[in-house]
Amino acid sequence: MSRSAHPAGPRHADVLTEGHYAAPPADLNVLDEKVWARTVSRNDDGVVAVGGIEVTRLAEEFGTPAYFLDESDFRARCRAWADAFGRDADVFYAGKAFLSRAVVRWLREEGLNLDVCSGGELTTALGAGMPAERIAFHGNNKTVAEIERAIEAGVGRIVLDSFQEIVRVSHVAQRLGKRQRVQIRVTVGVEAHTHEFIATAHEDQKFGIALAGGEAAEAVRRTLALDGLELIGIHSHIGSQIFDMAGFEVSARRVVQLLAEVRDEHGIELPEIDLGGGLGIAYTSDDDPREPHEIAKALSDIVTRECEAAGLATPRISVEPGRAIVGPTAFTLYEVGTLKHLEGLRTYVSVDGGMSDNIRTALYDAEYSVALVSRRSDAEPMLVRVVGKHCESGDIVVKDAFLPSDLAPGDLIAVPATGAYCRSMASNYNHALRPPVVAVRDGEARVIVRRETEEDLLRLDVG
Protein backbone atom coordinates (compact mmCIF):
# COMPACT_ATOMS: atom_id res chain seq x y z
CA MET A 1 0.00 0.00 0.00
CA SER A 2 1.33 3.43 -0.83
CA ARG A 3 2.32 5.61 2.10
CA SER A 4 1.57 8.75 0.10
CA ALA A 5 -1.90 10.10 0.71
CA HIS A 6 -1.66 12.30 -2.35
CA PRO A 7 0.93 10.66 -4.54
CA ALA A 8 2.63 13.14 -6.76
CA GLY A 9 4.10 10.38 -8.85
CA PRO A 10 5.51 6.88 -8.58
CA ARG A 11 7.65 6.37 -5.49
CA HIS A 12 10.27 4.35 -7.25
CA ALA A 13 9.98 5.94 -10.63
CA ASP A 14 10.55 3.59 -13.48
CA VAL A 15 12.72 4.84 -16.22
CA LEU A 16 10.43 7.15 -18.06
CA THR A 17 10.33 7.57 -21.76
CA GLU A 18 11.75 10.57 -23.45
CA GLY A 19 9.14 13.27 -23.81
CA HIS A 20 7.66 12.46 -20.42
CA TYR A 21 9.57 15.26 -18.76
CA ALA A 22 8.82 18.92 -19.14
CA ALA A 23 11.08 20.54 -21.70
CA PRO A 24 14.32 21.88 -20.27
CA PRO A 25 14.38 25.61 -19.52
CA ALA A 26 15.47 27.77 -22.43
CA ASP A 27 18.66 28.80 -20.64
CA LEU A 28 20.10 26.70 -17.83
CA ASN A 29 22.20 29.65 -16.65
CA VAL A 30 19.16 31.62 -15.58
CA LEU A 31 18.35 31.35 -11.88
CA ASP A 32 14.64 31.45 -11.13
CA GLU A 33 14.26 34.01 -8.35
CA LYS A 34 11.30 32.07 -6.98
CA VAL A 35 13.55 29.28 -5.71
CA TRP A 36 16.79 31.12 -4.92
CA ALA A 37 17.54 33.34 -1.93
CA ARG A 38 17.15 37.02 -2.70
CA THR A 39 20.78 38.08 -3.00
CA VAL A 40 21.75 35.17 -5.22
CA SER A 41 22.71 36.08 -8.77
CA ARG A 42 25.06 34.97 -11.53
CA ASN A 43 27.92 37.39 -12.10
CA ASP A 44 29.18 38.48 -15.49
CA ASP A 45 31.95 35.89 -15.23
CA GLY A 46 29.28 33.19 -14.93
CA VAL A 47 29.91 32.34 -11.29
CA VAL A 48 26.96 32.50 -8.90
CA ALA A 49 27.27 34.71 -5.82
CA VAL A 50 25.28 35.15 -2.64
CA GLY A 51 25.47 38.26 -0.48
CA GLY A 52 28.13 39.49 -2.91
CA ILE A 53 30.45 36.48 -2.48
CA GLU A 54 31.11 34.01 -5.27
CA VAL A 55 30.43 30.35 -4.55
CA THR A 56 33.90 29.38 -5.78
CA ARG A 57 35.39 31.49 -3.00
CA LEU A 58 32.89 30.13 -0.48
CA ALA A 59 33.77 26.56 -1.46
CA GLU A 60 37.46 27.28 -1.07
CA GLU A 61 37.02 28.82 2.34
CA PHE A 62 34.33 26.59 3.84
CA GLY A 63 34.49 23.40 1.78
CA THR A 64 31.60 21.36 0.39
CA PRO A 65 29.00 20.20 1.03
CA ALA A 66 27.84 23.25 2.94
CA TYR A 67 24.66 25.22 3.46
CA PHE A 68 24.88 28.94 2.67
CA LEU A 69 22.21 31.07 4.26
CA ASP A 70 21.36 34.55 3.01
CA GLU A 71 21.03 36.47 6.27
CA SER A 72 19.44 39.59 4.80
CA ASP A 73 16.83 37.45 3.08
CA PHE A 74 16.10 35.67 6.36
CA ARG A 75 15.70 38.97 8.18
CA ALA A 76 13.56 40.42 5.39
CA ARG A 77 11.24 37.41 5.53
CA CYS A 78 10.91 37.76 9.30
CA ARG A 79 9.96 41.41 8.86
CA ALA A 80 7.52 40.60 6.07
CA TRP A 81 5.72 38.10 8.31
CA ALA A 82 5.74 40.43 11.33
CA ASP A 83 4.49 43.40 9.25
CA ALA A 84 1.83 41.32 7.49
CA PHE A 85 0.33 40.11 10.76
CA GLY A 86 0.70 43.44 12.53
CA ARG A 87 0.05 44.28 16.15
CA ASP A 88 -3.02 42.15 16.60
CA ALA A 89 -1.30 38.88 15.86
CA ASP A 90 1.85 37.00 16.81
CA VAL A 91 4.30 35.24 14.54
CA PHE A 92 6.17 32.31 16.07
CA TYR A 93 9.06 31.01 13.96
CA ALA A 94 9.02 27.18 14.10
CA GLY A 95 12.52 26.35 15.29
CA LYS A 96 12.37 22.76 14.05
CA ALA A 97 12.87 24.03 10.49
CA PHE A 98 16.35 25.26 11.44
CA LEU A 99 17.59 26.63 14.73
CA SER A 100 20.91 28.02 15.86
CA ARG A 101 21.92 30.74 18.27
CA ALA A 102 22.47 33.21 15.44
CA VAL A 103 18.97 32.48 14.15
CA VAL A 104 17.52 33.11 17.61
CA ARG A 105 19.31 36.46 17.73
CA TRP A 106 17.96 37.45 14.30
CA LEU A 107 14.44 36.48 15.35
CA ARG A 108 14.74 38.49 18.54
CA GLU A 109 16.04 41.51 16.67
CA GLU A 110 13.34 41.27 13.99
CA GLY A 111 10.54 41.00 16.55
CA LEU A 112 9.47 37.39 16.05
CA ASN A 113 8.54 34.83 18.69
CA LEU A 114 9.79 31.26 18.70
CA ASP A 115 8.15 27.85 18.78
CA VAL A 116 10.30 25.06 20.25
CA CYS A 117 9.48 21.40 20.68
CA SER A 118 12.30 19.85 22.69
CA GLY A 119 14.63 20.55 25.57
CA GLY A 120 17.44 21.09 23.07
CA GLU A 121 15.53 23.72 21.14
CA LEU A 122 14.51 25.39 24.40
CA THR A 123 18.13 25.52 25.59
CA THR A 124 19.22 27.04 22.28
CA ALA A 125 16.45 29.63 22.45
CA LEU A 126 17.09 30.67 26.04
CA GLY A 127 20.87 30.47 25.65
CA ALA A 128 20.75 32.94 22.78
CA GLY A 129 18.64 35.38 24.74
CA MET A 130 15.10 34.83 23.47
CA PRO A 131 12.89 36.17 26.26
CA ALA A 132 11.02 33.19 27.74
CA GLU A 133 7.63 34.87 27.37
CA ARG A 134 8.19 34.92 23.60
CA ILE A 135 8.63 31.13 23.49
CA ALA A 136 5.90 28.53 22.84
CA PHE A 137 6.60 24.94 23.84
CA HIS A 138 5.18 22.16 21.65
CA GLY A 139 5.36 18.40 21.30
CA ASN A 140 3.15 15.35 21.55
CA ASN A 141 5.23 13.70 24.28
CA LYS A 142 7.10 16.29 26.31
CA THR A 143 8.99 14.75 29.19
CA VAL A 144 8.30 15.86 32.73
CA ALA A 145 11.87 17.26 32.81
CA GLU A 146 11.14 19.34 29.69
CA ILE A 147 7.87 20.59 31.16
CA GLU A 148 9.66 21.57 34.36
CA ARG A 149 12.35 23.48 32.51
CA ALA A 150 9.81 25.26 30.35
CA ILE A 151 7.67 26.32 33.31
CA GLU A 152 10.67 27.30 35.40
CA ALA A 153 12.02 29.41 32.57
CA GLY A 154 8.61 31.08 32.25
CA VAL A 155 7.74 30.23 28.65
CA GLY A 156 4.84 32.22 27.25
CA ARG A 157 2.76 29.15 26.48
CA ILE A 158 2.79 25.40 26.54
CA VAL A 159 0.66 23.73 23.90
CA LEU A 160 -1.12 20.80 25.53
CA ASP A 161 -1.28 17.78 23.26
CA SER A 162 -3.04 15.03 25.25
CA PHE A 163 -5.22 14.35 28.27
CA GLN A 164 -2.22 13.04 30.20
CA GLU A 165 -0.30 16.18 29.46
CA ILE A 166 -3.05 18.41 30.85
CA VAL A 167 -2.56 16.66 34.17
CA ARG A 168 1.24 16.59 33.92
CA VAL A 169 1.60 20.28 33.21
CA SER A 170 -0.88 21.14 35.94
CA HIS A 171 1.04 19.04 38.49
CA VAL A 172 4.41 20.50 37.58
CA ALA A 173 3.07 24.07 37.61
CA GLN A 174 1.52 23.55 41.03
CA ARG A 175 4.69 21.99 42.37
CA LEU A 176 6.63 25.02 41.15
CA GLY A 177 4.02 27.38 42.54
CA LYS A 178 3.21 28.80 39.08
CA ARG A 179 0.23 29.27 36.83
CA GLN A 180 1.22 28.30 33.29
CA ARG A 181 -0.40 29.82 30.23
CA VAL A 182 -1.52 26.98 27.94
CA GLN A 183 -3.27 26.31 24.67
CA ILE A 184 -4.93 23.04 23.69
CA ARG A 185 -3.92 21.56 20.36
CA VAL A 186 -6.88 20.14 18.52
CA THR A 187 -7.08 18.02 15.39
CA VAL A 188 -9.72 19.56 13.25
CA GLY A 189 -10.24 16.67 10.81
CA VAL A 190 -8.78 18.38 7.75
CA GLU A 191 -6.96 16.37 5.08
CA ALA A 192 -4.14 18.72 4.10
CA HIS A 193 -3.02 18.16 0.52
CA THR A 194 0.54 17.24 1.24
CA HIS A 195 2.58 14.10 1.88
CA GLU A 196 1.01 11.84 4.50
CA PHE A 197 4.02 12.12 6.80
CA ILE A 198 3.67 15.90 7.05
CA ALA A 199 -0.12 16.17 7.24
CA THR A 200 -1.19 16.57 10.85
CA ALA A 201 -4.87 17.40 11.23
CA HIS A 202 -6.69 14.33 9.98
CA GLU A 203 -7.93 12.24 12.86
CA ASP A 204 -5.81 9.09 12.54
CA GLN A 205 -2.56 10.39 13.96
CA LYS A 206 -0.51 11.13 17.05
CA PHE A 207 -0.90 14.89 17.41
CA GLY A 208 -3.48 16.85 19.33
CA ILE A 209 -6.92 16.09 20.71
CA ALA A 210 -9.78 15.46 18.29
CA LEU A 211 -12.55 18.01 17.94
CA ALA A 212 -14.74 15.13 16.85
CA GLY A 213 -16.71 13.25 19.49
CA GLY A 214 -16.46 16.07 22.00
CA GLU A 215 -12.86 15.18 22.95
CA ALA A 216 -11.56 18.73 22.65
CA ALA A 217 -14.52 20.12 24.63
CA GLU A 218 -13.68 17.62 27.36
CA ALA A 219 -10.03 18.72 27.28
CA VAL A 220 -11.18 22.31 27.79
CA ARG A 221 -13.31 21.22 30.76
CA ARG A 222 -10.40 19.44 32.41
CA THR A 223 -7.94 22.26 31.73
CA LEU A 224 -10.29 24.82 33.24
CA ALA A 225 -10.89 22.60 36.27
CA LEU A 226 -7.24 22.07 37.18
CA ASP A 227 -5.08 24.44 39.20
CA GLY A 228 -1.83 25.71 37.78
CA LEU A 229 -3.18 26.21 34.25
CA GLU A 230 -4.42 29.34 32.52
CA LEU A 231 -6.15 28.39 29.29
CA ILE A 232 -5.47 31.15 26.75
CA GLY A 233 -6.65 29.50 23.56
CA ILE A 234 -6.90 26.74 21.02
CA HIS A 235 -4.17 25.58 18.66
CA SER A 236 -4.36 23.82 15.31
CA HIS A 237 -1.65 22.87 12.83
CA ILE A 238 -2.85 21.11 9.71
CA GLY A 239 0.39 20.08 8.03
CA SER A 240 3.29 21.34 5.97
CA GLN A 241 4.13 22.57 2.46
CA ILE A 242 0.53 23.62 1.86
CA PHE A 243 -0.47 26.07 -0.87
CA ASP A 244 -4.22 25.85 -0.71
CA MET A 245 -5.81 28.12 1.92
CA ALA A 246 -9.00 26.01 2.00
CA GLY A 247 -7.59 23.73 4.72
CA PHE A 248 -6.87 26.74 6.94
CA GLU A 249 -10.36 28.03 6.31
CA VAL A 250 -11.99 24.80 7.49
CA SER A 251 -9.60 24.62 10.41
CA ALA A 252 -10.30 28.21 11.52
CA ARG A 253 -14.04 27.64 11.22
CA ARG A 254 -13.92 24.55 13.42
CA VAL A 255 -11.67 26.17 16.01
CA VAL A 256 -14.02 29.17 16.21
CA GLN A 257 -16.94 26.77 16.64
CA LEU A 258 -15.15 25.32 19.65
CA LEU A 259 -14.60 28.82 21.06
CA ALA A 260 -18.34 29.41 20.75
CA GLU A 261 -19.09 26.13 22.53
CA VAL A 262 -16.67 27.07 25.31
CA ARG A 263 -18.42 30.42 25.73
CA ASP A 264 -21.83 28.74 25.85
CA GLU A 265 -20.74 26.13 28.37
CA HIS A 266 -18.33 28.05 30.59
CA GLY A 267 -19.24 31.69 29.98
CA ILE A 268 -15.71 32.62 28.91
CA GLU A 269 -14.29 33.74 25.58
CA LEU A 270 -10.81 32.31 25.05
CA PRO A 271 -8.65 35.20 23.85
CA GLU A 272 -6.33 33.46 21.35
CA ILE A 273 -6.23 31.02 18.47
CA ASP A 274 -3.12 29.64 16.84
CA LEU A 275 -3.44 28.35 13.29
CA GLY A 276 0.01 26.72 13.19
CA GLY A 277 2.48 26.79 10.33
CA GLY A 278 2.70 24.83 7.12
CA LEU A 279 2.77 27.46 4.40
CA GLY A 280 4.43 26.14 1.28
CA ILE A 281 7.48 27.48 -0.53
CA ALA A 282 8.80 27.12 -4.07
CA TYR A 283 11.19 24.20 -4.44
CA THR A 284 10.88 24.25 -8.22
CA SER A 285 9.62 26.78 -10.74
CA ASP A 286 6.26 24.99 -10.76
CA ASP A 287 5.45 25.99 -7.18
CA ASP A 288 3.54 29.21 -6.53
CA PRO A 289 3.60 30.17 -2.86
CA ARG A 290 1.61 33.06 -1.46
CA GLU A 291 3.12 36.16 0.07
CA PRO A 292 2.84 36.67 3.85
CA HIS A 293 0.47 39.65 3.46
CA GLU A 294 -1.94 37.56 1.36
CA ILE A 295 -1.81 34.77 3.93
CA ALA A 296 -2.31 37.19 6.82
CA LYS A 297 -5.29 38.80 5.14
CA ALA A 298 -6.87 35.48 4.22
CA LEU A 299 -6.49 34.10 7.75
CA SER A 300 -7.67 37.21 9.53
CA ASP A 301 -10.68 37.58 7.18
CA ILE A 302 -11.69 33.98 7.85
CA VAL A 303 -11.36 34.30 11.63
CA THR A 304 -13.13 37.68 11.75
CA ARG A 305 -15.99 36.42 9.61
CA GLU A 306 -16.45 33.24 11.60
CA CYS A 307 -16.31 35.09 14.92
CA GLU A 308 -18.84 37.66 13.78
CA ALA A 309 -21.17 34.86 12.75
CA ALA A 310 -20.74 33.22 16.16
CA GLY A 311 -21.11 36.52 18.04
CA LEU A 312 -17.58 36.30 19.46
CA ALA A 313 -14.99 39.04 19.79
CA THR A 314 -12.16 38.30 17.32
CA PRO A 315 -9.40 36.50 19.22
CA ARG A 316 -5.72 37.30 18.87
CA ILE A 317 -4.31 35.12 16.07
CA SER A 318 -0.92 33.48 16.02
CA VAL A 319 0.86 31.56 13.29
CA GLU A 320 3.99 29.40 13.27
CA PRO A 321 5.79 29.50 9.93
CA GLY A 322 9.09 27.64 9.81
CA ARG A 323 9.76 26.61 6.23
CA ALA A 324 8.23 29.77 4.76
CA ILE A 325 10.82 31.89 6.57
CA VAL A 326 14.03 29.89 6.43
CA GLY A 327 13.41 27.49 3.53
CA PRO A 328 14.06 29.83 0.62
CA THR A 329 17.00 31.58 2.27
CA ALA A 330 19.61 28.83 1.89
CA PHE A 331 21.12 26.56 -0.73
CA THR A 332 23.37 23.53 -0.42
CA LEU A 333 26.63 23.68 -2.33
CA TYR A 334 28.07 20.37 -3.55
CA GLU A 335 31.04 19.36 -5.65
CA VAL A 336 30.42 16.94 -8.49
CA GLY A 337 32.45 13.77 -7.99
CA THR A 338 31.48 11.19 -10.58
CA LEU A 339 29.14 10.98 -13.55
CA LYS A 340 27.67 7.77 -14.93
CA HIS A 341 25.87 7.73 -18.24
CA LEU A 342 23.83 4.52 -18.28
CA GLU A 343 23.00 4.10 -21.93
CA GLY A 344 19.26 4.17 -22.55
CA LEU A 345 18.60 4.50 -18.82
CA ARG A 346 19.75 7.56 -16.97
CA THR A 347 22.67 9.82 -16.09
CA TYR A 348 23.73 9.81 -12.44
CA VAL A 349 25.62 12.79 -11.05
CA SER A 350 27.16 11.96 -7.66
CA VAL A 351 27.94 14.71 -5.20
CA ASP A 352 29.92 14.83 -1.96
CA GLY A 353 26.82 14.87 0.30
CA GLY A 354 23.42 13.24 -0.03
CA MET A 355 20.69 11.88 2.21
CA SER A 356 22.73 12.80 5.31
CA ASP A 357 22.35 16.52 4.50
CA ASN A 358 18.98 16.32 2.74
CA ILE A 359 16.71 13.43 3.68
CA ARG A 360 13.61 15.08 2.26
CA THR A 361 13.81 13.55 -1.21
CA ALA A 362 14.10 10.02 0.17
CA LEU A 363 11.56 10.57 2.92
CA TYR A 364 8.82 12.60 1.26
CA ASP A 365 9.48 12.26 -2.48
CA ALA A 366 10.36 15.95 -2.27
CA GLU A 367 11.19 17.80 -5.46
CA TYR A 368 14.16 20.12 -5.75
CA SER A 369 15.89 22.12 -8.44
CA VAL A 370 19.62 22.29 -9.08
CA ALA A 371 22.02 24.48 -11.05
CA LEU A 372 25.63 24.54 -12.12
CA VAL A 373 26.97 27.51 -10.17
CA SER A 374 30.76 27.58 -10.54
CA ARG A 375 30.66 28.58 -14.19
CA ARG A 376 28.38 29.37 -17.09
CA SER A 377 27.67 26.72 -19.65
CA ASP A 378 25.94 26.86 -22.98
CA ALA A 379 26.15 23.12 -23.56
CA GLU A 380 22.97 21.21 -24.37
CA PRO A 381 20.83 20.32 -21.35
CA MET A 382 20.98 16.73 -20.13
CA LEU A 383 18.46 15.04 -17.89
CA VAL A 384 20.15 13.75 -14.75
CA ARG A 385 19.53 12.35 -11.31
CA VAL A 386 21.64 13.99 -8.60
CA VAL A 387 22.61 11.43 -5.99
CA GLY A 388 24.73 11.35 -2.87
CA LYS A 389 27.64 9.25 -1.68
CA HIS A 390 25.76 7.02 0.75
CA CYS A 391 25.43 3.27 0.54
CA GLU A 392 21.92 2.98 -0.76
CA SER A 393 20.09 3.62 -3.97
CA GLY A 394 17.43 5.74 -2.26
CA ASP A 395 20.16 8.31 -1.62
CA ILE A 396 18.73 10.82 -4.07
CA VAL A 397 19.13 14.57 -3.78
CA VAL A 398 17.26 15.68 -6.90
CA LYS A 399 15.19 13.08 -8.69
CA ASP A 400 15.09 14.57 -12.17
CA ALA A 401 16.74 17.76 -13.28
CA PHE A 402 18.44 19.30 -16.26
CA LEU A 403 22.11 20.22 -16.05
CA PRO A 404 24.46 21.14 -18.88
CA SER A 405 25.88 18.15 -20.73
CA ASP A 406 29.48 19.33 -20.28
CA LEU A 407 29.14 18.92 -16.49
CA ALA A 408 32.36 17.45 -15.12
CA PRO A 409 33.95 16.31 -11.88
CA GLY A 410 35.02 19.33 -9.85
CA ASP A 411 32.10 21.51 -10.96
CA LEU A 412 30.05 23.05 -8.16
CA ILE A 413 26.33 22.57 -8.24
CA ALA A 414 23.81 24.04 -5.81
CA VAL A 415 20.38 22.93 -4.65
CA PRO A 416 18.22 25.91 -3.65
CA ALA A 417 15.50 26.11 -0.99
CA THR A 418 17.30 23.85 1.49
CA GLY A 419 17.06 26.20 4.48
CA ALA A 420 14.27 24.24 6.17
CA TYR A 421 14.40 20.65 7.43
CA CYS A 422 17.76 19.86 5.82
CA ARG A 423 20.41 20.75 8.41
CA SER A 424 17.83 20.20 11.16
CA MET A 425 17.18 16.64 9.91
CA ALA A 426 20.77 15.90 8.91
CA SER A 427 22.32 12.64 10.09
CA ASN A 428 25.69 10.98 10.47
CA TYR A 429 24.72 8.05 8.26
CA ASN A 430 27.87 6.28 7.05
CA HIS A 431 29.65 8.50 9.59
CA ALA A 432 29.14 11.48 7.33
CA LEU A 433 30.16 14.75 8.94
CA ARG A 434 27.22 17.12 9.03
CA PRO A 435 27.91 20.19 6.90
CA PRO A 436 28.31 23.70 8.25
CA VAL A 437 25.79 26.49 7.94
CA VAL A 438 27.42 29.68 6.74
CA ALA A 439 25.55 32.97 6.96
CA VAL A 440 26.36 35.38 4.19
CA ARG A 441 25.53 39.07 4.31
CA ASP A 442 26.86 42.16 2.55
CA GLY A 443 30.10 40.60 1.39
CA GLU A 444 30.81 38.79 4.64
CA ALA A 445 30.51 35.09 5.35
CA ARG A 446 30.36 33.71 8.87
CA VAL A 447 30.02 30.13 10.08
CA ILE A 448 26.99 29.89 12.38
CA VAL A 449 27.05 26.10 12.74
CA ARG A 450 30.47 24.61 12.12
CA ARG A 451 31.18 21.48 10.12
CA GLU A 452 31.38 18.32 12.21
CA THR A 453 34.77 16.73 12.52
CA GLU A 454 35.84 13.14 12.96
CA GLU A 455 36.77 14.09 16.52
CA ASP A 456 33.12 15.05 17.07
CA LEU A 457 32.10 11.56 15.99
CA LEU A 458 34.71 9.86 18.12
CA ARG A 459 33.85 11.95 21.17
CA LEU A 460 30.49 10.16 21.37
CA ASP A 461 32.01 6.75 20.78
CA VAL A 462 33.25 5.77 24.19
CA GLY A 463 35.01 2.67 22.98
Among 228, 233, 277, 435, binds ligand LLP (CB under 6 A): 277
**What contacts 24+ positions apart, CB below 8 Å, involve 403-406?**
403/28, 403/349, 403/370, 403/371, 403/372, 404/28, 404/372, 404/377, 404/378, 404/379, 404/380, 405/379, 405/380, 405/381, 406/377, 406/379
Q: Is 237 in the site for ligand LLP (CB under 6 A)?
A: yes
Give just the sign of the alpha carbon dihedral 362, 380, 419, 206.
negative
> Site residues for ligand LLP, window 17-76 (CB under 6 A)?
none
Distance of CA 150 to the CA centre of its chain: 22
Q: Which is nearer to ligand LLP, 256 or 362 (CB)?
A: 362
φ/ψ of 293, rounded to 5, equals -70, -30
Among 168, 323, 389, 441, binds ligand LLP (CB under 6 A): 323
CB-based contact 415:368 (threshold 8 Å): yes
Q: Is 332 in the site for ligand LLP (CB under 6 A)?
A: no
Q: Is 322 in the site for ligand LLP (CB under 6 A)?
A: yes
CA atoms within 13 Å, Cβ hemisphere of 375: 12
Least Å from the CB of residue 292 to ligand LLP = 12
Residues composing the chain: 463
Q: Is 121 in the site for ligand LLP (CB under 6 A)?
A: no
Gap between the Cα atoms of 183 and 197, Å rounded: 24
Least Å from the CB of residue 427 to ligand LLP = 13
Q: Is 391 a catalytic residue?
A: yes
Among 73, 110, 306, 320, binds ligand LLP (CB under 6 A): 320
State how beta strands 48-50 and 66-70 pair: unpaired
Q: Is 360 in the site for ligand LLP (CB under 6 A)?
A: yes
Q: Is 138 in the site for ligand LLP (CB under 6 A)?
A: yes
Q: Is 276 in the site for ligand LLP (CB under 6 A)?
A: yes
Number of residues that bind ligand LLP (CB under 6 A): 23
CB-based contact 140:206 (threshold 8 Å): yes
Pure H helices in 291-396: 292-310, 323-326, 360-364
Least Å from the CB of residue 404 to ligand LLP = 29
Least Å from the CB of residue 226 to ligand LLP = 23
What does the binding site for ligand LLP look like in residue numbers (CB under 6 A)? 94, 96-97, 115, 138, 198, 237, 240-241, 276-279, 320-324, 360, 364, 420-421, 425
* Catalytic residue positions, numbered: 391
